[in-house]
Amino acid sequence: MNGELTATSGSRPVLKNVPSFSELGTTPPVSVSSFELLTSAQCEEIASRYHRSGLAIVQAAAGVSSEKSLLVLAGKLGLGDPFVPPVYAGSASIGQVGLSRMSVSAGPGGESPHPSFQTTNKQDTHTDGTLQRIGEVKTSALLCLGAAASGGETFFFNSAGAYAKLAGEDPAAARALLMPDVLVRSANMPGIDASVSGPAFSILDEGLVTRFSLSSTDTWHVSDDATGTDLLRGIRFLLDLRLQESECYWETVLEPGQAVIFANDRISHGRKSYENTPGSPREILRGLFTKRPEPGGAR
């Protein structure tokens, strides 16, 4: 399928399922009484926003407690059971029901803290499922149980949208980002030494997918030829759109009772640093899923 983009006829590639962030600044969250009482119409709306914008924010008025709330929400959206990457096997970073808890107060006894989950530091642009193949972890869901005293914004970068723009302006740079081993992502868990190389973007039957990440554990294969300069232009183009907080960027502070369900293989995300108040730390639950919320899917 990548041949569409490698054609030299000058024709624009057809990139399917590219989200747009244009509605995010003006659209309030989907408001529900509780996740347990989600209606079919609300599920349809969440799925529709997911596919249009790459993400949907849901605000529950009451009843958000812990893991069960996120599992119920996922079930009603047809996401199935949480996916647990093999790198987490036997780790205290993942709970019994397959969810991760991100909070500096949630350090498991006897195990080194997770360098991304259990810190107040910023988390740079990335996609979840570091060691999984591109497109495998289709959906991530975050549920906020507690907000920070300050900071902690969750940000989203529309990688697919930015790529589509790049493909229109600089096809050679866009091609370089499709190369099979261009992006090496490494696990950052204590005691785990594993990395996986792959493309930053791929054009699959179902559309454009990405694992675009620019964090401290990601490295890029830059060759010493023209392809290397193509790649550097491509990364620069995307990073500029990210830093300019352009139409491909959006951020929000998740509030208690809010969940965000996003297309992990179409958009990238990260978090700004934060400060906690004693006794009321920022606390987020995360689930990964290999399915998407499909309109009219399982409820």
Cβ closest to Fe ion, residue 166 vs residue 189 = 189
The span of 47-55, 120-128, 208-216, 225-233 binding Fe ion (CB under 5 A) equals 120-128
Q: Is 128 in the site for Fe ion (CB under 5 A)?
A: yes
Give the single-character DSSP code of 97.
T
Cβ closest to Fe ion, residue 39 vs residue 121 = 121
How many Å apart are CA 222 and CA 224, to the nearest integer? 7
Cβ closest to Fe ion, residue 128 vs residue 265 = 128
Q: Is 218 in the site for Fe ion (CB under 5 A)?
A: no
Beta strands in the chain (DSSP E): 30-32, 55-60, 100-102, 123-126, 139-146, 150-151, 154-157, 183-186, 195-198, 201-204, 207-210, 218-220, 249-252, 258-263, 268-271, 274-275, 283-289
Q: Are 69 and 35 in contact (CB under 8 A)?
A: yes
Q: Are 37 and 72 in contact (CB under 8 A)?
A: no
Residue span 171-210 as binding mask against Fe ion, x where in contact by CB under 5 A, dash where not: ----------------------------------------
Instruction: State in angstroms the smallest separation of the CB of 43 from Fe ion.
Output: 24
Q: Is 230 in the site for Fe ion (CB under 5 A)?
A: no
Cβ closest to Fe ion, residue 128 vs residue 283 = 128
Cβ closest to Fe ion, residue 73 vs residue 141 = 141
192 Cα distance to chain centroid: 22
Q: Is 283 in the site for Fe ion (CB under 5 A)?
A: no
- Which positions touch Fe ion (CB under 5 A)? 128
